[in-house]
A and B are shown apart, each in its own frame.
Chain A
Amino acid sequence: MDRVKTILGYEWRAYWRRFSRSGLRGGNQGIILILTVLIAIKYVQLLVTASKNVEKGNPKLLVQLLGAIFFVWLFPVASSARQTFASRKWLHLPLSLSERFIIRSVSLLLPPSAWLVILGSLAICYPLAHARNPFAGTVAGLLFIAIAWLTGLAISRLPGFVVWRKLLWIAALGVSTVAGLNVIRIGTANALLSLQFLPAKLVARVALGDAGAGELTQWTTPLVSLITLSVMAVVAGWAAWWSLKKGLEAELQTAHRKVLVVSARLLPGRLGGLVVKDFRYFRRLLDTYLGLAAAILGCVYLAVAYVPSAGVFWSFIVATFLGNAAVAFNSFGLDDRAGLDRYTLLPLSGEAILVSKNLAYLMIVLAEILPMLVIAGWRLGVVTSALGFVQAAALAGAYLTWGNWMSVTHPLKMQFFRFANSGAALVDAMGGILFGSLPGIVLIYLWQTRSAEAVAVTGLVLLLTGGFYFLSVRRFGNRLEQNKARIAAALS
């Protein structure tokens, strides 16, 4: 245990050293604090409401809060950008698997954001303590948190294996399709309310006895539910353990080569190879699959809806860009010092490097929205589809304008098969989402109201976003040439 303590001590030291070196203590801390406080106040209000509801025997809000906690728990793990001493790189150290498991589990809790997740999760015990079975409910709540944590640990490892990656993508595709059909059938708000996440429901059953229990009798429900939760916790623990073991044993399995070969043949020109390289890198970031999920939902909606709406179609295009925001805002995040060195050695200007990154981003987004545009052409007409394309061009211009600035000035390390780590650039990223989405929202409003100036304003929006984009390439291309060493340091 001393060895584990020593290693964790140094991981703690390394984390804060990196934190201070990256200059993250600087800007936006005030805004982040305000946002955190606002979210905390809202959360406390929800907890109080949930507690009152639970006292009255209504578990709906409690179940929803538990569902949210479960998904929030995935983020400290799935967005972790640093390798710990439990990784393959340190396999030569005389550490047992259990020691590595502890190191991996604990080291992911080092960032302050993870402390907030822990605090927020434990706060769920407040409404549980007001339930009919407070003690059993609290135990079930703690088991639920453990399940969420262990599931996060297991899932974060699985995308490293080709087979599991495929299975996860198929599952995501299935869930997106079903969710899309559900939204069409009963509406967005009702679909969200109807989400019944099983482990969360089990906690409610333990705490409230018969809530949502259906045919189960009052005295067996808490017991069966508690046992089920315990079994789930054991299974999640085993899955986390197994995924760590397999991850240490197996060679890193890389993406299928065929895709690159095909795309390499399609991309001529001086920057073709670099664009293909970044296309491959970007599609290994989990965030791009959020964009893909939005695009699938859009396709399902357009294909199945009885009378699809143009406004909803255009909104799905905005949502697709939203999902891919991290790629635009941190385009160097998946590179490392060696990659940055190669960019420096190649006879390429900063502008050319930014353009190659931007082209790869456009390939990702275009691949996601193209099926939607085709289906929209079929269901809503060529004009609506073409307007969707115009909207996408404006969105791309705006996102890349902000993204080029952020990529050069706020680079942050990201890992393959993880979510982007927004770090202290959170406020800038939120600003970017607003700035990037604005042209799309303005155009939807304009086209929906069918105002007389629609054509002129659409042209103006395109002109502005295009102009901003070209200015950003020039300005931040030059900044990139001056800041390569700083970016490399941030990524190392």
Chain B
Amino acid sequence: MLEIETRNLTKQFGRLLAVNDLSLQIAKGTIFGFLGPNGSGKSTTVKMLTGLLTPTEGDALISGTSILDSPLDVKKKIGVLPEELALFEALTIWEHLMLSGPVYGLSKQETEKRAVELLDYLDLASSRNTYVEQASYGMRKKCSLAMALLHNPSVLFLDEPFEGIDPVASRNIKDLLLLMAEKGVTIFLTSHILEVVERLVTEFAIIVAGEVVCTQTVAETLRSGETLEELFFKHVVRGKVGDLEWIG
């Protein structure tokens, strides 16, 4: 059963074609890695799939619901860790969770129970009363992640989830994602850390300049005798750079 399906998804900003004709099919319970260099269209794709940007052309179905026809129904099903974290600077970490739960229909008691467990799991319990504007980047990222998980979504979109996260929390998050996938949650993540992706995801796609240049499973990559890094650099050409002789 397909949980995420994009149909000719395209996004154009003026003359810039950020994402061109993207068609992906991701089955339920998959951990899908979306890879690519900076500015390749990864975050734009996540933004389109989560309602932060409207596609110029095409559509996408999340659990069979169109992101264009029923955006609110889609938002109820998904959890999102966005690139810019999307937090309110004058609220504490705890207040963010208490704000979020009821919006997704959770009772206050249930929100509190889940929030306590999530903050423990993400090693944020001692910082729960820290204002977001005073929190470190890692703490803010964990807060945003906790908000994405709080309502137990069936599809999870994570934009660079491991960037700025300490190794302990990173390990916890990886374990959690594997557990969630086992229970049927579909996870769509973008990352630059190829080793992590290789160990975590079951399928991946590489996007370069708005176009998907490779889609395969990790098993297929391993069978071909290549590492994910080798495959990545096969598609992403490193331009010639100077020596910066003035440095040092």
Contact = CB atoms under 8 A, between A and B. Distances in A.
Interface of A: 251-252, 254-255, 257, 260, 264, 268-274, 276-277, 280-281, 284, 335-339, 341-342, 344-349, 416, 485
20 contacts: A251-B134, A252-B133, A257-B129, A264-B98, A270-B103, A270-B105, A271-B102, A274-B99, A274-B103, A276-B99, A336-B89, A338-B85, A338-B87, A342-B88, A345-B82, A345-B86, A346-B103, A347-B76, A347-B103, A348-B103
Interface range, B side: 20 to 34
B90 A270 contact: no
Contacts of B82: 341, 345
A105 B133 CA distance: 26
Given A284-B90, A339-B88, A346 B100 contact: yes
Contacts of B231: none
Given A257-B129, A260-B91, A270-B103, 10 more contacts: A272-B102, A273-B99, A277-B90, A338-B84, A338-B87, A339-B89, A346-B103, A347-B76, A485-B53, A485-B54
Contacts of A274: 99, 103
Contacts of A277: 88, 90-91, 95, 99
B173 to A, nearest CB: 19
Given A257-B92, A273-B99, A339-B86, A345 B134 contact: no
Contacts of A270: 102-103, 105
B50 A345 contact: yes
Contacts of A348: 72, 103
Contacts, number: 86
Nearest to B104: A347
A478 to B, nearest CB: 13
A481 to B, nearest CB: 8
The CB with the most chain A CB atoms within 10 A, among B75, B88, B89, B91, is that of B88
Contacts of B105: 270
A371 to B, nearest CB: 26
Nearest to B79: A345
Interface of B: 50-54, 72-73, 75-76, 80, 82, 84-92, 95, 98-100, 102-105, 108, 129, 131, 133-134
A349 B75 CA distance: 11
B86 A254 contact: no
Nearest to A275: B99
A280 B90 contact: yes
B75 to A, nearest CB: 4
Nearest to B144: A342
A345 B131 contact: no
A72 B92 CA distance: 36
B222 to A, nearest CB: 35
B129 A273 contact: no
B61 to A, nearest CB: 17
B12 to A, nearest CB: 14
A255 B75 CA distance: 32
Nearest to A339: B88
Closest 3 pairs between A and B when the two form their complex, measured CB to CB:
A273-B99, A341-B86, A347-B75
A485 B103 CA distance: 21
Given A255-B90, A260-B95, A345-B52, A273 B131 contact: no
Given A339-B86, A345-B82, A264 B102 contact: no
Contacts of B75: 345-347
Contacts of A252: 133-134
Contacts of A341: 52, 82, 84, 86
B133 A273 contact: no
Given A254-B131, A346-B103, A348-B103, A273 B98 contact: yes
A276 B96 CA distance: 11
A471 to B, nearest CB: 22
A339 B90 CA distance: 10
Contacts of A260: 91, 95
B133 A254 contact: yes
Contact of B72 (A257, A269, A347): A347
A479 to B, nearest CB: 15
Contacts of A335: 88
A342 B103 contact: no
A254 B90 contact: yes
Nearest to A416: B90
B192 to A, nearest CB: 21
The CB with the most chain A CB atoms within 10 A, among B54, B80, B91, B100, is that of B91
Nearest to B129: A257
Nearest to B77: A347
Contacts of A257: 92, 129
Contact of B87 (A251, A276, A284, A342): A342
B51 A345 contact: yes
A270 to B, nearest CB: 5
B95 A273 contact: yes
Nearest to B85: A338
Contacts of A485: 53-54
Contacts of B103: 270-271, 273-274, 346-348
Given A257-B129, A270-B103, A347-B103, A281 B134 contact: no
The CB with the most chain B CB atoms within 10 A, among A257, A264, A341, A349, is that of A341
Nearest to B82: A341
Nearest to B92: A257
B84 A337 contact: yes
Nearest to A356: B103
Nearest to A280: B90
Contacts of A269: 102
Contact of B90 (A268, A273, A281): A281
A340 to B, nearest CB: 8
Contacts of A254: 90, 131, 133-134
A268 B90 CA distance: 20
B100 A273 contact: yes
Contacts of B100: 273, 346
Contacts of B108: 268
A20 to B, nearest CB: 16
Nearest to A272: B102
